[in-house]
């Protein structure tokens, strides 16, 4: 149980680092944002916002934070594997996402946590969407 909580906090820190790296890109401290093509600029800005929200949601252990984690990981895997000509060699990020998603699934399974929990159709079923995951 504690391992799963710590892992979610670790993921939050990783995604905050991702946010910080994209912020550095935006200000030209790491990559030159001004010289990026429109696709790269849009990708960088999208990840800047998504990584920050995911970091916050994961830190608070919310369902939407975990949803963002899966959304970001899967979108980057599709982009970096399926469109490697556009995004170049991103082997580190491909490995990172495969390992973090895989480890999340294993830890969730070992702790008996449902990875996906769809809301019921009853009124007020989304009330607990911000309730921290134990």
Rounded to 5 degrees, what angle do the CA atoms 52, 81, 59 make? 20
Nearest to 69 by CA among 31, 128, 110, 116: 116
Contact 60, 24 (CB under 8 A): no
pTM recorded for the entire structure: 0.83
Does 117 score more than 70 pLDDT?
no
Contact 25, 64 (CB under 8 A): no
- What secondary structure letter does DSSP report for 130? T
Q: How do residues 25-77 score in pLDDT, each as one tens digit?
A: 999 899 899 999 999 999 999 999 999 999 999 999 999 999 999 999 999 99
């Amino acid at each position: 149980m504690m391992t799963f909580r710590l892992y979610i906090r670790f993921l939050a820190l990783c995604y905050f680092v991702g946010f910080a790296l994209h912020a550095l890109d935006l200000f030209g401290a790491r990559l030159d944002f001004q010289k990026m093509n429109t696709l790269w600029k849009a990708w960088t800005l999208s990840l800047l916002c998504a990584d920050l929200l995911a970091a916050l949601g994961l830190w608070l252990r919310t369902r939407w934070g975990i949803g963002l984690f899966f959304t970001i990981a899967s979108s980057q895997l599709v982009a970096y594997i399926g469109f490697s000509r556009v995004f170049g060699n991103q082997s580190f990020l491909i490995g990172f996402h495969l390992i973090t998603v895989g480890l999340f699934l294993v830890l969730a399974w070992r702790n008996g946590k449902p990875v996906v929990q769809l809301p019921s159709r009853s009124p007020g079923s989304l009330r607990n969407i911000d309730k921290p995951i134990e």
